Amino acid sequence: MSKLFLVPTPIGHLEDITLRALNVLKGVSLILAEDTRTSGKLLKHYEIDTPMFSHHMHNEHKTVEKLVARIQSGETMALISDAGTPAISDPGFLLSRACIEAGIEVDCLPGATAFVPALVNSGLPNDKFVFEGFLPVKKGRMTRLSLLQEETRTIIFYESPHKLLKTLQDMVTYFGDQRPVSVSREITKLFEETIRGTAASVLAHYTAHPPKGEIVIVVGGKAVEKSAKKAKRDELV
């Protein structure tokens, strides 16, 4: 039966993949990979010889119709990104939407993603949260941060190491230097670390220790900041 599987892959540690994911990757007709060189290392490690096709942000608009037609003709495909769950700040949304509109069954497997362990490990409230992904680089960046000033839920961002200091400085400016912040980097990898504190203290840490690797920023919502201040006042009474 023709079908599209969205298959999460490890974000660092190769053992962070499910048995079901491995069976799907072995059984489909074709694997759609963001970067076939990166995914090739994973497939080689698990001795999977399923053919791959490059499907990434630069060609997905051009290839969606052809891929949908191939699935409709009887092929079963698995979509993977370089790391984590497809369509979470990675390619995947366009193809899954097109398949759904065409009446093709889409099955997303559970598995690795960076923001969940970063959120849980932050120590910040996780009963309600909002995932922002990457902030706009230029146009719309300040507007987005201004809108988030009043957000009461915990906020999650992705960021690259060379933009982290700028983003933390922006958070000091828009959220205040005492807003609680947790930065997790290199999750599941050898040099994994989480730095927790205020926006100002975390900025100071990474100013002194330039970061490397993939980064997730977790920011306490406005209500969390007020609660922290109230707790501090109560301690003084």
| Centroid of chain to Cα 11 | 9
Determine what percent of the chain is predicted with pLDDT higher than 70: 93
Q: Are 80 and 34 in contact (CB under 8 A)?
A: yes
Using one digit for the tens of pLDDT, what is the confidence trace for 22-38? 999 999 999 999 999 99
Domain with CATH 3.30.950.10 in the chain: 115-232
Q: What is 3-108's CATH topology?
A: Cobalt-precorrin-4 Transmethylase; domain 1 (3.40.1010)
Using alpha carbons, list the distances in angstroms from residue 226 to 126, 151, 179, 203: 17, 12, 9, 21
In the block, residue with structure tokens 């490990």: 121
Assigned superfamily of 115-232? Tetrapyrrole methylase, C-terminal domain (3.30.950.10)
Using one digit for the tens of pLDDT, what is the confidence trace for 57-115? 888 888 999 999 999 999 999 999 999 999 998 889 999 999 999 999 999 999 999 99
| Centroid of chain to Cα 222 | 23
Domain with CATH 3.40.1010.10 in the chain: 3-108
Residues with Cβ < 8 Å from 180, sequence gap 6 or more? 124, 196, 197, 198, 199, 219, 220, 224, 225, 228
Residue 136: its pLDDT value, please? Answer: 93
Euclidean distance between CA atoms 216 and 129, whole angstroms: 14
Predicted model pTM: 0.89
